[in-house]
Amino acid sequence: MRKFMLSLMALSCLTVSAQFGAPRQNPVVPSVVANVTEDFKPAKTNQDGKQYPMVNSQRMVRAQISAPKASFVGLDIAGKIYEMTKDENGLWTGTSEPQDEGFHYYQLNIDGASVPDPGSKYYYGASRWGSGIDVPAADEEFYTVKNVPQGSVNEVYYWSTVTEKMRHGYIYLPAEYYQNPTKKFPVLYLQHGMGENETGWSAQGKTGIIMDNLIAEGKAVPFVIFMDNGLDVRRPGEQGGFGGPRPQGGQRPQGGPGQGGPRRGFGGFNAFQDVLLKDIIPMVEKNYRVIADTEHRAMAGLSMGGMQTHSITLANPTTFAYVGMFSGGTFNTDELKDAADFKKTNKVLFMSAGGKETRMAEGDNSVGKAAENLKAIGINAHSYVSPGTAHEWQTWRRSLYQFAQLLFK
Amino acid sequence: MRKFMLSLMALSCLTVSAQFGAPRQNPVVPSVVANVTEDFKPAKTNQDGKQYPMVNSQRMVRAQISAPKASFVGLDIAGKIYEMTKDENGLWTGTSEPQDEGFHYYQLNIDGASVPDPGSKYYYGASRWGSGIDVPAADEEFYTVKNVPQGSVNEVYYWSTVTEKMRHGYIYLPAEYYQNPTKKFPVLYLQHGMGENETGWSAQGKTGIIMDNLIAEGKAVPFVIFMDNGLDVRRPGEQGGFGGPRPQGGQRPQGGPGQGGPRRGFGGFNAFQDVLLKDIIPMVEKNYRVIADTEHRAMAGLSMGGMQTHSITLANPTTFAYVGMFSGGTFNTDELKDAADFKKTNKVLFMSAGGKETRMAEGDNSVGKAAENLKAIGINAHSYVSPGTAHEWQTWRRSLYQFAQLLFK
């Protein structure tokens, strides 16, 4: 378990700069100037009417900003700071190497200050609200808004008996929820990753759009999704938790899941488990027309949210019939071979990873190998590897697209 | 009408820098150092865990950012750039003069680049996503989240027959909408101002929080609110519209309201009117449990949204029974004295302004004088002046709080 968590933390750090409070300084490299195809277009994630940042057909990102008095401006993306160049009007421009398909966090560096790019929309990730860019993908249709029956992503506050405060989450209700006022629906509880929050799955993840499209095509049954913050859970009087400060060595979970007692630090898993089981699920089942039984309840998450899913569904084996871990490691046969309750309850166990997450995508520790082993002990295990993507949102959009088609059927 | 519109545009420009595409450069002034009470606290609008910006009990704003290699860093708020000072670690700090209670857009200037402050959350206004700060107000309880029955603010897409594209808006549904699945509700159509978008009323305006609190206290009846984008309406083949570029002289509306034919430029009022009447209202009345008649339909808006309300309710006098203009000028008796349909239909006509918007708050052109004149011709007119606030969101939060209590009773 320890080795597993450390490797996941390492993975996160490799791919998301400034993952924890204090940002690491990425290396400065020259802006790309050779073999650049000049067919740049404004990114879809730009603010309305803003031309920059742009992306070309090689998936290079080009940023531009006016900073007449600056001595250095850099485009900070995917672990490198591309040094931008200034024209006679004080306009700085720079171009990155090709990026993977899909969504990436990035920022500008102006004379040592790391700031959002005024051209982009802003997203919460890497422990800050900041710039994001969507690089066109061959399969982007599945997360593009279409003229199909529309559900909605709803911002809700609710009282938490665990934290003794109002908390904030989002609930996706499918179109049929509004059209058919007597029907009840199954529910998926869906969690974000380290350094992200409850906005990630709808904004970067495009959850509502993916679901509306899947349901319209008849590929998924309509279900409700609740998305909460798995990092900001602090019991009354508790300090810190997980929003800002860098976790210290040794702040990993102590003991196995579900052993009770307060566990702080990495994931605040125990406190979040309490919020999920004592606050969120009862609130959703009271306020919304959902089917309040195990067979119609799923949990999934990405990265740290996948680890929370792992821990919480193992500790509460009869609560969720469907389980998904996206870039969050694997279940192994030792954990499950004697877990009678889990095996009896579980209908689908789904594990996925990005193709560039090689430890999880290939070989003996892969999601594919894990699924094979789990099938051998009677688990309905599924695996998925997202082609050409890393520990980023394109992997998780695709994972949701795959997982949703397996649920509640 | 022309004079009215020009004065409103001037008002907007006075209070919101960078209102249109090309930002004006505000004057640089020294950071405040004398008579500063050192009781600064992180602003409520900060990103989780971020200490800066801060506000003190004098309502001064203090910003801080690390920019080791910069030669100039300024805090750009309320029309002035406060020159910040650098310490030996490259950390720049600066303090503004006292600000009005409530919400303000602001930004940082780093060596000539106008950028969002990495410490704040981001809001759409002044024609960009950027920093905002909430300065504590004596009456902030009314827009503070409380443990009362919670409605939700829902993100929805819908097909527009007018623009032939999917459009994006938000709908507030009160708690009872979920609890009582057979009840139908009245609807308010609520519009933002120039340089803002469909996110403004829920994010800066705190619409959902204000309504949940009002309903819980029994001060407002439960109703649905739809919030759309009144600036981005482009008919197929039309260029520009209103999102980005500076309006040219002469781009004011031609002719009176409701005379048909495409009207471009300021407000895109005719195109937005079409979207509201042909797309939004039918969609809301089809997809949600609302009472689809005039007596249960209201329209209101702030600033430009108030002008749109003025224009659209005059041109469609039997469509809305309740009308509100917040910092959007006034109706006058000449317009209404012979408007039989409007007078027969209208149940409440509400006009408000900030106390610092002196042209609308005081004297012969004030909302109070207009209400008095309109009452004399048989209109149930109401006025409200928000104490000590300008053409900003605190005025409009308070206006909604007042207006909502008059609706559908």
Q: What is the mean pLDDT of residues B57-68?
A: 98
User: pLDDT (tens digit, 9 = 90+) per residue, A277-310?
Assistant: 999 999 999 999 999 999 999 999 999 999 999 9
Question: What pLDDT score does B250 carry?
Answer: 32
The label of the residue with tokens 């490259």 reads: B90
Residue from B83, B133, B127, B82 nearest B105 by CA: B133
Q: What is the mean pLDDT of residues A315-338?
A: 97
CA dist., res. A15 & res. B392, Å (int): 41
User: pLDDT (tens digit, 9 = 90+) per residue, A333-373?
Assistant: 999 999 999 999 999 999 999 999 999 999 999 999 999 99
Q: What is the mean pLDDT of residues B59-86?
A: 98
- Chain B nearest-CA residue for A123: B122
The answer to whether B306 and B215 have CB atoms below 8 angstroms apart is: no
Q: What is the mean pLDDT of residues B325-344?
A: 97
> pTM for the complete prediction?
0.91
- Residue B270 vs residue A205, higher pLDDT: A205
Residue A1 predicted with pLDDT over 90: no
Long-range contacts of A334-337 (CB under 8 A, 24+ apart): A336/A374, A336/A377, A336/A379, A337/A377
Q: Give A212 to chain B, closest Cα distance, Å.
A: 11
ipTM confidence: 0.90
Q: Which two tokens stand for residue B288?
A: 């949600």
Tell me the CA end-to-end span of chain A in Å, nearest whole number. Answer: 32
CA dist., res. A404 & res. A223, Å (int): 9
The DSSP string of B177-221 is: HHH-TT--B-EEEEE--TT--TTHHHHTT-HHHHHHHHHHTTSS-
Half-sphere exposure of A322 (CA within 13 A, CB side): 22
Q: What is the mean pLDDT of residues B89-111?
A: 98
- Residue A251 vs residue A124, higher pLDDT: A124
Residues of chain B neighbouring A145 (CB-CB closer than 8 A): 157, 166
Best mutation target among B19, B24, B52, B69 (most A Cβ atoms within 10 Å) is: B69
Q: What is the mean pLDDT of residues B45-56?
A: 97
Q: Which two tokens stand for residue A277?
A: 């089981």
User: pLDDT (tens digit, 9 = 90+) per residue, A33-63?
Assistant: 999 999 999 999 999 999 999 999 999 999 9
The DSSP string of A260-305 is: -S---SGGGHHHHHHIIIIIIHHHHHHHS-B--SGGGEEEEEETHH
Residue from B260, B334, B359 nearest B10 by CA: B359
Would you call B67 and A287 a contact, using CB atoms and an 8 Å cutoff? no
The label of the residue with tokens 């597993």 reads: A4
Question: What pLDDT score does B139 carry?
Answer: 98
Residues of chain B neighbouring A69 (CB-CB closer than 8 A): 71-72, 111-112
User: pLDDT (tens digit, 9 = 90+) per residue, B340-394?
Assistant: 999 999 999 999 999 999 999 999 999 999 999 999 999 999 999 999 999 999 9
Question: What pLDDT score does B239 carry?
Answer: 64
Would you call A67 and B245 a contact, using CB atoms and an 8 Å cutoff? no
CA dist., res. B153 & res. B173, Å (int): 7
Question: What pLDDT score does A268 carry?
Answer: 61
Best mutation target among A129, A148, A213, A224 (most B Cβ atoms within 10 Å) is: A129
- Identity of the residue in B49, B69, B127 whose CB atom sits nearest the CB atom of A71: B69
CA dist., res. A198 & res. A200, Å (int): 6
The DSSP string of B19-46 is: -SSSPPPPPEEEPP-TT--S--EE-TTB
The answer to whether B120 and B44 have CB atoms below 8 angstroms apart is: no
Residues of chain A neighbouring B21 (CB-CB closer than 8 A): 49
Q: Which two tokens stand for residue A18?
A: 């400034």
